């Protein structure tokens, strides 16, 4: 394959791949955020997660760890204005919280 054919192929591939991307506005990037009460309610109702710990950063952001009875977990960062953003989530949190944590709420 000659250099001109390689360049032409590369141009065609890039034009084909880039065309749909150029036609759409990119969605804003960043963690999904919402009102804290809404997020906490969704974690409770959907996954059965309850807060097992929290910590306040120097910036005023509150970090909260929620864990469910099956080991699902979610880490939230909540601003002083009450907006919570997902930092991370996963499965297999250990050790699982005591069952009375879930029964009491």
One digit per residue, the tens of pLDDT, for the chain of length 105 reads 433 334 344 444 444 444 455 455 665 676 789 999 999 999 999 999 999 999 999 999 999 999 999 999 999 999 999 999 999 999 998 887 776 665 545
Cβ burial, residue 63 (10 Å; 0-12/13-18/19+): middle
* pTM metric for this prediction: 0.66
Closest CA to 43 of 76, 77, 83: 76
Give yes or no for a contact between 51 and 37, defined as CB atoms under 8 angstroms apart: no
């Amino acid at each position: 394959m000659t250099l001109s054919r390689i360049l032409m192929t590369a141009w065609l591939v890039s034009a084909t791949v880039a065309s749909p991307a150029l036609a759409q506005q990119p969605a804003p990037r960043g963690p999904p955020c919402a009102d804290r009460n809404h997020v906490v309610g969704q974690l409770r109702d959907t996954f059965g997660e309850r807060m097992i710990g929290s910590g306040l950063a120097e910036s005023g952001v509150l970090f909260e760890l929620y864990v469910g009875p099956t080991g699902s977990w979610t880490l939230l960062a909540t601003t002083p204005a009450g907006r919570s953003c997902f930092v991370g989530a996963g499965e297999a949190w250990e050790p699982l919280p005591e069952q009375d944590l879930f029964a009491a709420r």
